[in-house]
Amino acid sequence: MPLDQAGPSATLTPVISVPSALDLDNCSAALPAPHPPIIQVEQLGKQVSSPEGPLVILADIGFAIARGECVAVIGASGSGKSTLLGLLAGLDTPSTGRVWLAGVDLNSLDEDGRALLRAQRVGFVFQSFQLLNGLTALENVMLPLELAGQSDARRQALELLERVGLKARARHYPTQLSGGEQQRVAIARAFAGNPDVLFADEPTGNLDHKTGQRIIDLLFALNREQGTTLVLVTHDPELAAYCDRVLELDEGRLRARSAAGARA
Ligand SMILES: Nc1ncnc2c1ncn2[C@@H]1O[C@H](COP(=O)(O)OP(=O)(O)OP(=O)(O)O)[C@@H](O)[C@H]1O
Ligand SMILES: [Mg+2]
């Protein structure tokens, strides 16, 4: 199932399953010192079986992303963007190749290990927001902070909601919020816990231009302030142009691109 079609429980699993015994800072990293990339990908491939036989979704993907960099992933619908994002974030496992995230080879971790790494290092904004409808905006943002054992989760979550202009809506449930407002809550939640990397799958998809621009400004402001690495899937040329670099997928393969986007 493509990542952006996964059900709410698929989103919850990585957040809730947080084992305590593994210390990821002490994991050995097979990357060169002193400035290893935050993400390194080698010969990554994803293949699934289909009624017509094996289906190659991604093949022979390789690249590295430096800390603090902002990278746009573009490509036609079905080219494998959401699948790639899921593999980079450790939400999905590859058929071939490797991803190192924050110096850790994801293939060396089991599901609990990947869940812990995500909880410590990763924020994810899904194409479809994936807020929990039974929780208020405030509770949605507090959840990852509480699961990480933060004692002042409420204060931090309120600060983040203020940052995205939604403090007055803290007690509202997702169904009481517009699409753009839900997207901003999802971004506040993704930034809770100060992740090293924020993955966002079409963060401005389905939003009007003005709201989309607000979301872009917000992502880059948080990126600057917290030094967060951004990996953004987008169909929006304006958003891609804000990024340091663009990776283009073409039928599951990485296309060589010369120009980097110019960050405004
Ligand atoms: N589990 C799966 N089983 C079969 N096919 C799959 C599976 N997951 C993804 N696909 C197929 O792989 C291709 C890539 O899917 P993916 O969701 O990564 O595309 P995308 O680039 O994100 O597209 P969009 O821009 O429409 O979101 C699609 O053709 C999709 O149907
Ligand atoms: Mg997609």
Q: What is the DSSP string of 177-226?
A: S-HHHHHHHHHHHHHTT--SEEEEESTTTTS-HHHHHHHHHHHHHHHHHH
What is this structure's pTM? 0.82
Name all residues whose Cβ lies below 6 A of ligand 1: 1-2, 4, 48, 50, 55, 57, 75, 77-83
133 SS3 class:
coil
The residues, ordered by sequence, that sit 6+ positions from 221 with a Cβ below 8 Å of its Cβ are: none
Q: What angle do CA 76, 77, 83 make, to 5 degrees?
A: 105
160 near 192, Cβ under 8 Å? yes
Q: How far is the CA of 87 from the centre of ligand 2 (A)?
A: 13
Question: Would you write out the chain's pLDDT as a tens digit for each of its 264 residues?
Answer: 444 443 333 333 333 333 333 344 443 444 444 568 999 999 999 999 989 899 999 999 999 999 999 999 999 999 999 999 999 999 999 999 999 999 999 999 999 999 999 988 999 988 777 899 999 999 999 998 998 888 999 999 999 999 888 999 999 999 999 988 998 999 999 988 789 999 999 988 767 888 788 888 888 987 888 889 999 999 888 889 889 999 999 999 999 775 554 444
Q: How far is the CA of 28 from the centre of ligand 2 (A)?
A: 32
The residues, ordered by sequence, that sit 6+ positions from 219 with a Cβ below 8 Å of its Cβ are: 187, 198, 200, 203, 230, 232
219 near 198, Cβ under 8 Å? yes
Q: How far is the CA of 84 from the centre of ligand 1 (A)?
A: 10
The residues, ordered by sequence, that sit 6+ positions from 116 with a Cβ below 8 Å of its Cβ are: 18, 19, 22, 24
Between CA 168 and CA 138 the distance in angstroms is: 10
Query: Domains along the chain?
Result: 9-19+36-255 (3.40.50.300)
The ligand with the least distance to the CA atom of 247 is 1
Number of Cβ atoms within 10 Å of the Cβ of 258: 5
| Mutation pick for ligand 1 pocket among 46, 47, 56, 79 (CB with most ligand atoms within 8 Å) | 79
Q: What is the pLDDT, as a whole number, of residue 128?
A: 77
Closest ligand 1 atom to 83 CA: 18
Q: What are phi and psi of 151, to 5 degrees?
A: -75, -25
What is the dihedral sign for C-alpha 25, 29, 34, 38? negative
Q: What is the pLDDT, as a whole number, of residue 18?
A: 34
